[in-house]
């Protein structure tokens, strides 16, 4: 491919993906469209400022004229849609921007890509569209969609639009669904970076409910390799699951993290549970193994250690993104929870 267009490239996974693409494909240009919401930080890609193969355009994926202009100017071979409102807790406080970006934004991109005759479209989605598991079993690509949060419902709606465009128009779309990512540049509203940042300054770690909820953790590098494999070798109209093969309860994860940091378990605070909190996610990624020759490579303990080191070394990055809007969010989300816990 000579050029790809990425949306949401200033966020956590998008920025890791853009950097990796430029490293792995020296002759390929990468165009990044990002609105720069609270979660979008151009500093995540500041090291690419002087790279002539990288282009950044600020704008909203819901704005058809903006998307059309980018497609016309750069004529990319493929579009990979990372742009989203991505945090479950925020979707519980207000689902409006979730429906706007994750549903209307996806539809706008699909129409624009169809009109431009794009050769490949990849929708980066989540295992949360499948809902919650009990103690046993894993999600396959055939598991019925049963989203439980406004976030996952809006992602499922986006996935279904891609499916419908493939079916109705022969559109060359692919959906990828991945479990919980961790790694550098993750915004510290999500569990791991929040707990690392808090623990580093001896602040309490707010564990929802009893901490028995299970998530499957995957390093962001493994997820990016999976998206790349789907982009280049996936079949149009298909869904591919990616997982890390690293299931842990939130409490197990928190304890492992405190051990890596050398901090006491007395920092753990059990707080009021998230409404509608999904019990367990687990992924069957055998289709990606079979068809894309993909499997996760990063060992969880080693990935966790490296991630902690990254946050330790980037205290100024954390400090910056935690100022401003984030302070108000933290107070709204945790103020009364921590006061009454």
The single residue listed with the structure tokens 């939130």 is 250
Among 18, 30, 45, 84, binds ligand NAD (CB under 6 A): 84
Give the Cα separation of 197 and 179 in Å (integer).
22
Give the Cα separation of 184 and 297 in Å (integer).
17
Among 30, 174, 178, 207, binds ligand TYD (CB under 6 A): 207
Nearest CA to 270 out of 332, 191, 208 is that of 208
* Residues in Cβ contact with 136 at an 8 Å cutoff, skipping those fewer than 6 apart: none
Among 4, 6, 11, 283, binds ligand NAD (CB under 6 A): 11
Interface stretch with ligand TYD, choices 38-46, 110-118, 207-215, 288-296 (CB under 6 A):
207-215
The one of ligand NAD, ligand TYD, none whose footprint includes residue 84, by CB under 5 to 8 A per kind, is ligand NAD
* Closest CB to ligand NAD: residue number: 11
Cβ atoms within 10 Å, residue 339? 8
Q: Show the site string, 14-43: x = touches ligand NAD by CB under 6 A, - = not.
A: x-------------------xxxx-xx---
Q: What residues numbered 151-190 form the site for ligand TYD, per CB under 6 A? A: 180, 190
Residue among 123 and 213 whose Cβ is closer to ligand TYD: 213
By the rule CB under 6 A, 88 interacts with ligand TYD: yes
Helix axes 191-200, 250-261, angle to 10 degrees: 40
Residues identified as active-site: 127-128, 151
Q: What residues numbered 41-70 form the site for ligand NAD, per CB under 6 A? A: 60-62
Among 15, 91, 213, 307, binds ligand TYD (CB under 6 A): 213
Residue pair 124/13 in contact by the 8 Å Cβ criterion: yes
Instruction: Quote the least distance from Cβ 266 to ligand NAD, whole Å.
Output: 28
Instruction: Quote the least distance from Cβ 33 to ligand NAD, whole Å.
Output: 6
| 144 token code pair | 């019925």
The one of ligand TYD, ligand NAD, none whose footprint includes residue 194, by CB under 5 to 8 A per kind, is ligand TYD
Among 4, 6, 7, 139, binds ligand NAD (CB under 6 A): 7
Residue among 34 and 278 whose Cβ is closer to ligand NAD: 34
Nearest CA to 185 out of 86, 296, 280, 257 is that of 86
Give the Cα separation of 276 and 207 in Å (integer).
15
Nearest CA to 229 out of 168, 137, 297 is that of 297
**Max CA separation in the chain (angstroms):** 57
By the rule CB under 6 A, 298 interacts with ligand NAD: no
Give the Cα separation of 227 and 224 in Å (integer).
5
Residue pair 295/288 in contact by the 8 Å Cβ criterion: yes
Binding stretches for ligand NAD (CB under 6 A): 7-8, 10-14, 34-37, 39-40, 60-62, 82-84, 86, 101, 105, 124-126, 155, 178, 180-181, 187
């Amino acid at each position: 491919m000579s050029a790809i267009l990425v949306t949401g490239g200033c966020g956590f996974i998008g920025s890791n993906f853009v950097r990796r693409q430029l490293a792995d494909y020296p002759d390929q240009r990468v165009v990044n469209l990002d609105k720069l919401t609270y979660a979008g930080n151009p500093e995540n890609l500041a090291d690419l400022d002087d790279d002539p193969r990288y282009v950044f355009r600020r704008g909203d994926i819901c704005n058809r004229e903006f998307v059309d202009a980018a497609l016309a100017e750069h004529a990319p071979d493929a579009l990979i849609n990372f742009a989203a409102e991505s945090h479950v807790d925020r979707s519980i406080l207000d689902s409006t921007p979730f429906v706007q970006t994750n549903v209307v934004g996806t539809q706008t991109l699909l129409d624009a890509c169809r009109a431009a005759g794009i050769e490949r479209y990849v929708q980066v989605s989540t295992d949360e569209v499948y809902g919650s598991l009990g103690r046993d079993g894993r999600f396959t690509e055939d598991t019925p969609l049963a989203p439980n949060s406004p976030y996952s419902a809006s992602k499922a709606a986006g996935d279904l639009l891609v499916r419908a465009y493939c079916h109705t128009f022969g559109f060359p779309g692919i959906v990828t669904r991945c479990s919980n990512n961790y790694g550098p540049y993750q915004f510290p509203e999500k569990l791991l970076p929040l707990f690392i940042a808090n623990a580093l300054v001896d602040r309490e770690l707010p564990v929802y409910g009893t901490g028995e909820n299970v998530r499957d953790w995957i390093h962001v590098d493994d997820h990016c390799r999976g998206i790349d494999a789907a982009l280049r070798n996936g079949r149009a109209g298909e869904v591919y699951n990616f997982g890390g093969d690293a299931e842990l309860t939130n409490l197990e994860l928190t304890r492992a993290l405190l051990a890596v940091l050398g901090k006491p378990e007395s920092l753990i605070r059990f707080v009021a549970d998230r409404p509608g909190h999904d019990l367990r996610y687990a992924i069957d990624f055998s289709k990606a193994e079979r068809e894309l020759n993909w499997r996760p490579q990063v060992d969880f303990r080693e990935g966790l250690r490296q991630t902690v080191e990254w946050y330790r070394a980037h205290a100024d990055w954390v400090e910056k993104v935690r100022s401003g809007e984030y302070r108000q969010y933290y107070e709204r989300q945790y103020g009364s929870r921590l006061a009454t816990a």
